[in-house]
Amino acid sequence: MLSYDKQYYGGAWQASTGAGTITVLSSATEDAIGRVPDGTTEDAHRAVTAARQAFPSWSRVPVEERAQWLEKLAAALEPRVPAIAETISHEVGTALSFSTRAQAKFPVTMLGLNARFIRGATLEEQLGHSLVVREPVGVVACITPWNYPLHQVICKIAPALAAGCTVIVKPAELAPLSTFMLAEAAHEIGLPAGVLNIVSGTGPVVGEALVTHDDVDMVSFTGSLRAGRRVAALAGDGIRKVCLELGGKSACVILDDAPFDKAVPAGVNSAMQNSGQTCSAWTRMLVPRDRHDDAVDLATTQLSKLPLGDPFDAATRLGPLASAAQRDRVLGYIERGRSEGATLVTGGGRPAQIERGYYVEPTIFAGVRPDMVIAQEEIFGPVLSIIPYEDEADAVRIANDSIYGLSAGVWSASTDRAMHVARQLRSGQVDVNGGRFNMLAPFGGYKKSGIGREVGPLALDEFFVLKAIQQQP
């Protein structure tokens, strides 16, 4: 049991002004594994005050010194990697092997990369008789999701701190514990008071208090489209900058000349990553109509190689979902797919052999029409829709027929052909023939997948404002 009875702001552990607590449950056992304060509006306001007080001095800290602080924080997190991975596997259901790599080690790497990025950033340039200066935007409120809890915190705070901003983090109620472990690491290295502040609580209370506070200059939010609309509306009322990373309904376009034996398994792996609790997962597999049945067979075979089970079992590839509510939501979508006439190939319910935990069988639907709900709405669970298309133009049309535009994949025997299709997709990132995730490339979406970018050196730009200083020619 990881029990935190205080918030962290102003460089110290502070008693919450409220008496409520949030109990954190294991997604695999449904047992309590932790507890954090259920923060109040006053807690949020105090954290903002601490960040505002720290901003003038932190924004003037030399770039090299800020980079060194990020490296110190990475070094303090490194020995905590096993505990972080285990904790997040409980909270989210991520299989421990993947949790160690993506949930715990990735944040350590990202801190170090942002130290490198800020060292190489151009903060001033001469344009004619004007000196254009990039300055930190100010106090940033970071509201983060439960599916990649520490990963998403670091994707926000690393470039923000590197740029010279101070931050307040509100972690997701379902998975807040790793963020408090981050606070312990920051406290251990003596990060200057008020630079990193953490307040747990609910979105309607702590989240809205941060988004509407006059001393918050920017809000960086990752979460659902519904919540993102609310954040944008509240921030807009205060003319506050926002960076939004929202939902996805990403397409994996497999062209008729593609190596199906590679493309289909890769598409299945993407759709099932983190038990489908990944915003960029390829949850729509688009295949030529005359190869539809071949794709279904290959997908079913690949899914059988991804065992569902205890996230702490070395053989497990897919764990439970993060909560009972998420499990029930996913089961509701599966029932909707059945009722709309999609063909349920495999899965479709709760595994009979597992008595406890928020498990859903990995599920494949075939013969899915592009207008079906399961092809349009983000399910956020282990559900893959296989959609037939007529020709390349039809594939592009179906892939772009979404309110989202976060990620996509294209497979072809010809790189030139795949690139031609990739350029037509309205998506923030496109992987061609299995191109891997790149920590140097910006991550974010088109359309209702959000505004702004995270990851890579270009993410620093989100946390800068531009000042033009005109000089006498």
CA 201 – CA 223 distance, rounded (Å) = 15
Catalytic residue among 245, 361, 454, 462: 245
Supply the DSSP string of 134-159, one letter for each residue. EEE--EEEEE--SSSHHHHHHHHHHH
The tokens for 130 are 């004007």
Catalytic residue among 279, 361, 454, 462: 279
Classify strands 404-405 and 284-288 as parallel, antiparallel or unpaired. Answer: unpaired
Classify strands 407-411 and 251-254 as parallel, antiparallel or unpaired. Answer: parallel
Confirm whether 243 is a catalytic residue.
no
Q: Are 194 and 53 in contact (CB under 8 A)?
A: yes
Question: Which burial class, exposed, middle or buried, applies to 125 when counting CB atoms under 10 A from its CB (0-12, 13-18, 19+)?
Answer: exposed
CA 146 – CA 91 distance, rounded (Å) = 8
Q: Where are the beta strands (DSSP E) in 144-227?
A: 166-170, 196-198, 218-222
CA 275 – CA 468 distance, rounded (Å) = 48
Confirm whether 42 is a catalytic residue.
no
Helix (H), strand (E) at residue 36: strand 32-37
CA 228 – CA 216 distance, rounded (Å) = 17
User: Any idea which residues carry the catalytic annotation?
Assistant: 245, 279
